[in-house]
């Protein structure tokens, strides 16, 4: 038989007149209990507490806003402004930067067409950019116009040459009967009067008194015998360091290397990022480098820069949500939301004590117990139910009346067809007339109480109201106490109620006294 702790007797106090009860005063119901407007008032039994809201500091009666920006810039990016607000703060990226304020990255303004003039180079800087006109043009970079080099000193051309302006450049061309590169032209008019002994790669020069032969530019010799000069062998032909010099017969060519643009003597890096983001993915940053560029996926994305996919921070555990919050992924970002039963901003969540408000719907005879993220209602001792509804053990809602007259111990042999086993439900029962008022407490004869084998209570009945005793339910078969079961008896004042289990076999019925 299981050990059971008995409930102490409940004393009954008789008073000449009703004694008024003392009720707790809810100080929070009036003027928030005197707490600060930025505080929460919590009523307690016989008292109350004031607690400053998140983002505020103080004793609850006086709460002051916490300036989050004063410590470590509020966690904002160095390229952002931290703005304190009542109970909170915001991070805003500086002009020229983009992001959520906690993370900011430079906006490459050069990626947007039409910023600088078509004849200018755009140079991105941290939070800004600048425009510079290309060589051969003048202006502020946003507007560039061609420089007419021929307007000043005829562009430096020979006096026997013509200067021709072109977009961003100019050319010098020797006049008829003069030969040269345009910057230096020699008279060759007499040389056309007859055959000359000059080399085919030489120039005939008419000095007036005689004819002389001079090797053309790009050749070495005395004019009568001329050989090609490899201009690339000396100082790379004067080509730009980012160009390739290629020797040709009588000349050479400077060609800008891949990733550069220009005439070969002057080469400038091509900013591939200015056209279609360099071919990088829309969620990637294109960074120009000398003769090349790189593509890097933005924060919140993963890939090689040419292909970027969203990172689900909620799956990769890169989020900073509170353990009691739900993480929701979004394109390039994520959000944190506190779970039901918790309050906060998602990054920090605190349990809500549901029991602080109206016992959270629990019965007046129940105790509300706060748990992490939830709560429970449990009926107080002496009551039964689900906690939301609790009734006294002796309340007629919590027991079933037994009124069968054939259960009386005075009923002799002859009626033995009844059986409590089978559909019997283990619960509280009260014996009422004509069955009697309580279970039989002495061993009844067999073939009594409507069955072959009567069952009776063997134990002490509780003497005081509210008291419970535990005894045995015995069946008289051959001996008076066979198949014993545990029976609990509760004193309800004018009557008893019994917690009666299902009998172990048929032809057994509980026997009552009148």
Per-residue pLDDT of the chain (514 residues; tens, 9 = 90+): 333 333 334 333 344 455 567 888 998 999 998 999 999 999 998 899 999 999 899 998 999 999 989 989 989 999 999 999 998 999 999 988 988 989 998 888 888 755 788 888 989 888 888 999 998 899 998 899 998 989 989 989 999 999 999 888 899 999 887 878 899 987 776 666 556 778 888 888 776 667 788 888 889 999 889 999 998 999 998 999 999 999 998 889 999 999 899 999 999 999 989 889 989 999 999 999 888 999 999 988 889 999 999 888 888 765 688 888 999 888 888 889 999 889 899 889 998 888 888 777 899 889 999 888 888 998 886 677 888 988 776 776 678 999 998 898 887 666 667 888 778 889 999 999 999 999 999 999 988 888 889 999 999 999 887 788 999 999 999 999 999 999 999 888 788 999 999 998 888 999 998 6
- The count of residues in the chain is 514
- What's the number of domains the chain is made of? 3
How far is CA 487 from each of CA 114, 391, 428, 478, 503, rounded to the nearest angstrom? 94, 21, 10, 21, 11
| CA dihedral for 135, 139, 144, 147, sign (positive or negative) | negative
pTM of the model: 0.33
Looking at the structure, tell me whether residues 382 and 472 fall in a common domain.
Answer: no
Looking at the structure, tell me whether residues 377 and 445 fall in a common domain.
Answer: no
Phi, psi angle pair for 155, to nearest 5°: 70, 10
The pLDDT of residue 15 is 41
Residue 259 lies in a domain: yes
- Give the angle subtended at the CA of 396 by the CAs of 390 and 401, to the nearest 5°: 140
Residue 4 lies in a domain: no
Which pair of tokens denotes residue 428?
């509280």
Looking at the structure, tell me whether residues 385 and 409 fall in a common domain.
Answer: no
- Write the CATH number for 247: 2.10.25
The DSSP call for residue 73 is G
Given 336, 366, 389, the domain boundary residue is 389
The pLDDT of residue 221 is 92
DSSP output for 247-297? EETTEEEEEEPTTEEESSSSEEE--GGGTGGGG--TTEEEEEETTEEEEEE
Looking at the structure, tell me whether residues 443 and 466 fall in a common domain.
Answer: yes
Looking at the structure, tell me whether residues 361 and 416 fall in a common domain.
Answer: no
Residue 33 lies in a domain: no
How far is CA 130 from each of CA 26, 106, 120, 126, rounded to the nearest angstrom? 67, 14, 10, 11
* 8 A C-beta contact, residue 367 and residue 376: no
Looking at the structure, tell me whether residues 379 and 478 fall in a common domain.
Answer: no
Residue 256 lies in a domain: yes
Looking at the structure, tell me whether residues 427 and 487 fall in a common domain.
Answer: yes
- What is the domain range of residue 382? 356-389
Looking at the structure, tell me whether residues 371 and 459 fall in a common domain.
Answer: no
Looking at the structure, tell me whether residues 472 and 374 fall in a common domain.
Answer: no
Residue 155 lies in a domain: no
Helical segments of 310-404, H only: 313-316
Looking at the structure, tell me whether residues 458 and 503 fall in a common domain.
Answer: yes
Residue 192: burial class (beta carbons within 10 Å; 0-12, 13-18, 19+): exposed
Given 248, 269, 290, the domain boundary residue is 269
Q: How far apart are CA 443 and CA 377, in angstroms?
A: 43
Phi, psi angle pair for 423, to nearest 5°: -90, 0
Helical segments of 300-381, H only: 313-316
Residue 496 lies in a domain: yes
Which pair of tokens denotes residue 138?
């003048």
Looking at the structure, tell me whether residues 461 and 401 fall in a common domain.
Answer: yes
Q: How far apart are CA 167 and CA 442, in angstroms?
A: 127
Task: With residue 174 as reference, give the H or E element that holds it.
Answer: strand 169-174
Given 389, 406, 438, the domain boundary residue is 389
The pLDDT of residue 9 is 42
Residue 503 lies in a domain: yes
Looking at the structure, tell me whether residues 383 and 481 fall in a common domain.
Answer: no
Residue 83 lies in a domain: no
DSSP output for 5-68? PPPPPPP----SSPPPPP----GGGTGGGG--TTEEEEEETTEEEEEEPTTEEESSSSEEE--G
Q: How far apart are CA 93 and CA 99, in angstroms?
A: 6
């Amino acid at each position: 038989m299981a050990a059971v702790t008995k409930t102490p007797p409940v004393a009954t106090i008789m008073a000449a007149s009703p004694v008024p009860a003392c009720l707790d005063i809810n100080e929070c119901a009036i003027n928030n209990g005197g707490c600060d407007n930025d505080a929460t008032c919590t009523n307690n039994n016989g008292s109350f507490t004031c607690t400053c809201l998140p983002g505020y500091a103080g004793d609850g009666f006086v709460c002051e806003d916490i300036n989050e920006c004063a410590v470590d810039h509020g966690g904002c990016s160095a390229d952002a402004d931290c703005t304190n607000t009542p109970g909170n703060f915001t991070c805003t990226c500086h002009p020229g930067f983009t992001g959520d304020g906690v993370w900011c990255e430079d906006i490459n303004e050069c990626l947007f067409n039409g910023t600088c003039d078509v004849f200018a180079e755009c140079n991105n800087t941290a939070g800004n950019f600048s425009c510079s006109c290309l060589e051969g043009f003048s202006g502020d970079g946003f507007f560039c116009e061609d420089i007419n080099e021929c307007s000043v000193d005829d562009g430096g051309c020979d006096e026997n040459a013509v200067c021709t302006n072109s977009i961003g450049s100019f050319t010098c061309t020797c006049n008829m009967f003069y030969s040269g590169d345009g910057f230096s032209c020699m008279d060759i008019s007499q040389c056309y009067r007859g055959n000359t002994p000059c080399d085919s790669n030489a120039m005939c020069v008419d000095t007036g008194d005689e004819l002389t032969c001079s090797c053309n530019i790009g050749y070495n010799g005395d004019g009568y015998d001329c050989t090609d000069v490899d201009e690339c062998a000396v100082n790379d032909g004067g080509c730009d360091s980012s160009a390739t010099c290629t020797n040709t017969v009588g000349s050479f060519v400077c060609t800008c290397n891949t990733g550069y643009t220009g005439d070969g003597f002057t080469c400038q890096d091509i900013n591939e990022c200015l056209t279609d983001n360099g071919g990088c993915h829309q969620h990637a940053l294109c960074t120009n480098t000398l003769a090349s560029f790189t593509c890097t996926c933005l924060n919140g994305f993963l890939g090689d820069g040419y292909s970027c996919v969203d990172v689900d921070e909620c799956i990769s555990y890169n989020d900073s949500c509170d353990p009691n919050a739900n993480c929701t992924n979004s394109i390039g970002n994520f959000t944190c939301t506190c779970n039901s039963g918790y309050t906060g901003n998602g990054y920090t969540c605190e349990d809500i004590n549901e029991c602080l408000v109206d016992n959270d719907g629990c019965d007046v005879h129940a105790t509300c117990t706060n748990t992490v993220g939830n709560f429970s209602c449990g009926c107080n001792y002496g009551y039964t139910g689900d906690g939301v509804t609790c009734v006294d053990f002796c309340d007629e809602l919590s027991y079933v009346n037994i009124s069968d007259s054939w259960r009386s111990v005075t009923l002799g042999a002859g009626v033995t067809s009844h059986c409590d086993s089978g559909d019997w439900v283990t619960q509280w029962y009260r014996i009422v007339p004509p069955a009697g008022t309580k279970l039989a407490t002495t061993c009844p004869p067999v073939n009594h109480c409507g069955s072959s084998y009567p069952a009776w209570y063997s134990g002490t009945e509780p003497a005081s109201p509210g008291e419970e005793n535990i005894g045995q339910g015995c069946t008289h078969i051959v001996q008076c106490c066979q198949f014993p079961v545990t029976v609990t008896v509760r004193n309800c004042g004018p009557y008893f109620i019994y917690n009666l289990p299902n009998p172990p076999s048929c032809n057994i019925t509980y026997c009552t006294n009148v």
